[in-house]
Each structure stands twice: as structure tokens, then as C-alpha cells.
Amino acid sequence: MSTGSVTPDDLFRLLSVDPDDGVFALVRAARRVKWNFPVTVMSVLAAHGTELSDGALAEVRRNRERADRYRAVAAALDGTIEVKGSTLAAAYPPGLTRHTGDLDLAAPDPDRLWHAAGVVARRSGARPPKVAITGPDAAVTVSLAWPSAEDPWLVSDDGVELVTTPFVGGDGVPLRPVPDAHPVVLSLLAVLEERFQRPFCAADVLDHALVLGTLTSDLRAELTDGAIRLRLAPELVALTGLVEDFRPGLPSPTGLGRLHDAAEAERERRRVVPAPPTLHPGEGFEEFLHRGGTWCGLPLDDVPAPGFRVVEEGHGGVVVETPVGGLLLVAAAEVEESSVDEAVEALARARLGAGDGNRTRAVSLGS
């Protein structure tokens, strides 16, 4: 399949739909894959002469407008790079619309991530954020969402996920820093990483098939090397196999023999998955991070601070100020309501200047 030859027949095969069942069945199958994948399918159908309804045309248009909004957001955030999204969409043939969900951005360090998150929160009026900080390198993830500028009755929220690394691991694979890679290769590696959260789907296969066909042999070699270094060789082998089943004869990652050997070795390494660390009684914020623990943020308010500051430890977690508001960082799945009340009071004391000044400190994460 060349970059310009995606046809309805390709999609019927990809989604395991009998062509005799028609295009409506094809679109319904796409919606079961991902809520936004139908826009890709409908754009292919339209390019091959199918007349779309007004509602279908509006869905495709809203997706394109969401992508335009995300480009404006990304352009306003100096020092961040987009992962997946428009990088992969650029490899799609003219007239074919890639589905757009959240905007995924990587920042080179926590300070710039928090700054970017504050900018997004102020401009968008985002709802309370989802925050995670994972050790030992204090990788930060901040997810922000807000009602779409289109029709919030019909359209999923706009959203931005900011990370210091998209490679957070799973199945015994630890968190890994962002590699120095070509943007397209980095985005393909980030697609592989998603396998730790969910199975590969038809949208991943189409991404991989379209993008891989545009890569030079040097970039295909970079993809293989990156997958091996990031311990994603099994995922690259699996997705490449799905692409081959979908359309035999497409270009493959360079060095398949080496890739398969690395995948076998990696699968053996994953046979033993260590349990994640649990918080010890009295253990501090930084000590838990250094052992590889994860703190999750429970929003307390939306009052922004200039940077990330620890207000007080205790109260079932760590009270912090951030550019997206006050948070109670916790390591447990459940939090006592009294702990939340105490955290709110500690935050109020600190802001009024009535708290213990020695207990409020700026923290440079990842240092």
C-alpha cells in the first residue's frame, strides 16, 4: 500500500467487515475501535466517491478543526514537542484525515512541563487536572481537559497530556527517558508504548502501515534501534506482524533478524515482573520517588503557583502547589476525607503565611 492508495477495500479488510454489509457497517466497526476512528474511515469513503451525510461531513470537519486548535496550542508552548498527532498525520495521503483525540506533548524537564501546563490551564479553563509523578527520575504526567469549542453536547472534550517522557513502561519494563530520535520515529515508538495500556487496534495498524511506507531505510533502522533500546522489540514485532497480515509486502523495519532476537530476549526478561513499591510509614516525598514509587495528584483547588512547591508532608500524602493548582499527592488508591480536609487547611495556612515557612519549599523534580 503506497501512501496514496488507502481504499475502502483496505478498510473492510482491516476492520474485518464483509463488503456486502456496506459502508454503514464499516463506520460502526470503526467506532468500536476508537470513538474518533470513523473520521478516518469516512474521509477514505468520501475520497472514493461515497456521498457522506451532513452529519458525517460535520464529524470530519470537527476533527480537522480540533487538529487546528491543537496546532495553535502546541505552537504557544515553547520547549515542548508533539508526539503522535500531527507528526503521524503528516504521513497520511492528501484527503485522508487522521483521527484526533488528545494532544500529546513532551517537555524536556519538569519545570518546563509545569510551566506549559499552567499556560494551558489558564487559556482553556481546564477542569481539575490528572497528575502523576513517578520515580526514580520524577517523571511527570499532567492531563488537562475542557469542553470542546465546537458542540460540547456532541463532541468529546479537547485535551492535552503533558509528559516528561511518554515511555512510562509496564509488564516489568521501567520508565525510560525520551530518546534522541527523528520526530516520526519517536511518534511510532510512542504508539508501540501504548501496548502497555491496551491491545493494538486497527488505528495503530493503519498508522504504522502509512508512516512506515514513508520512511527511508535509515529511519527504519533508527526505528529498530530505538525499539530495542527502549525494550519495545516485542511490540514492534507484533505490530509489524499485524501490518503484514493487513497488507503483505510493505516496507519492514530494518534488521528484522536482530529485532526478533531482541524481542525474544525481552519477553524472557518480562517473565518476572517486580511488584511496584508501596509507601512506607513516615516515608517522605523524595524518598518514595527514589525507590521508584508513584504519587498521584488529588486536586484541592485551581489556584496557580509559580512552580512546583511542597507545602507540607503528612495528611495521608504530600500537599503541593503547582501552576495548575493545589494538590494532595497520594500513593494509596483510597484517601480518607479527613486527610483531604487537613490538606486543604494546610494549603490555606501556607497561602496566608500562617504556616511553618520551613515546611514550604520549591522542589526541582528529577534532580
Q: Is residue 135 part of a domain?
A: no
* All three cell numbers of 181: 530520535
- Same-domain pairing of 84 and 30: yes
Q: Inform me whether the pLDDT recorded for 315 exceeds 80.
A: no
**Domain count of the fold of the chain:** 2
- Same-domain pairing of 28 and 118: yes
Domain that holds residue 222: 8-126+140-262
* Contact yes or no for 81/67 (Cβ under 8 A): no
Alpha carbon distance 278, 332 (integer Å): 8
- Same-domain pairing of 64 and 204: yes
- Same-domain pairing of 332 and 190: no
Alpha carbon distance 245, 255 (integer Å): 19
Each residue's pLDDT tens digit, 294-310:
999 999 999 999 999 99
- Same-domain pairing of 28 and 116: yes
Entry pTM: 0.91
What is the structure's pLDDT at 354?
Answer: 46
Give the dihedral sign, CA 218/224/229/230.
positive
Q: Is residue 42 part of a domain?
A: yes
Question: Where does a domain end: 228, 262, 296?
Answer: 262
Alpha carbon distance 107, 314 (integer Å): 30
* Contact yes or no for 159/101 (Cβ under 8 A): yes
Give the CA-trace dihedral at 141, 142, 147, 151, to 10 degrees.
-30
Q: What is the DSSP letter of 105?
A: E
- Same-domain pairing of 28 and 149: yes
Each residue's pLDDT tens digit, 221-277:
999 999 999 999 999 999 999 999 998 888 888 888 999 999 999 999 999 888 889
- Same-domain pairing of 170 and 239: yes
Q: Is residue 69 part of a domain?
A: yes
What is the structure's pLDDT at 149?
Answer: 80
Q: Is residue 270 part of a domain?
A: no
Q: Is residue 131 part of a domain?
A: no
Rounded mean pLDDT of the chain? 91
Q: Is residue 367 part of a domain?
A: no
Each residue's pLDDT tens digit, 63-99:
999 999 999 999 999 899 999 999 999 989 888 999 9
- Same-domain pairing of 67 and 167: yes
